[in-house]
Amino acid sequence: MSDKPTVLFVCVHNAGRSQMAAGWLTHLAGGAIEVRSAGSAPADQVNPVAVEAMREVGIDITGEQPKVLTVDAVEASDVVITMGCGDACPIFPGKRYEDWKLDDPAGQGIESVRPIRDEIKDRVGKLIGELLPG
């Protein structure tokens, strides 16, 4: 384990929830946590509505690209947070796993994505409190 905890966010397409979560964690942790995201079946681009929802709160995720989930990424992470990818995520002993039950923003309008974005922010805030005591 490095001096920084590493968190991997995983959802099916790595286009919405996991990208928003990675954006929040990067923004709120100020570099104190290494942030990764991936998908079990990555889309070809980040969901434009997720990008817009994050832009509204001053976080730019336009440069992100969906990435395929690899065993190496899971192995190199201290905490693996899944969002609706079910059994597609490999499990390693000694890792911390959480499954966040969140609505999928795919195909939804901005009005539906905002509450998902805000719930992710709350969960990321709690996670930071657990990983960075003090």
Catalytic one among 7, 8, 10, 11?
A: 11
Residues 6+ apart with CB under 8 A from 80: 7, 8, 10, 74, 89, 95, 96, 97, 98
Catalytic one among 80, 81, 85, 127?
A: 85
SS (HEC) of 45-79: CCCHHHHHHHHHCCCCCCCCCCCECCHHHHHCCCE
Catalytic one among 25, 53, 89, 124?
A: 89
85 a catalytic residue = yes
11 a catalytic residue = yes
Catalytic residues: 11, 85, 89
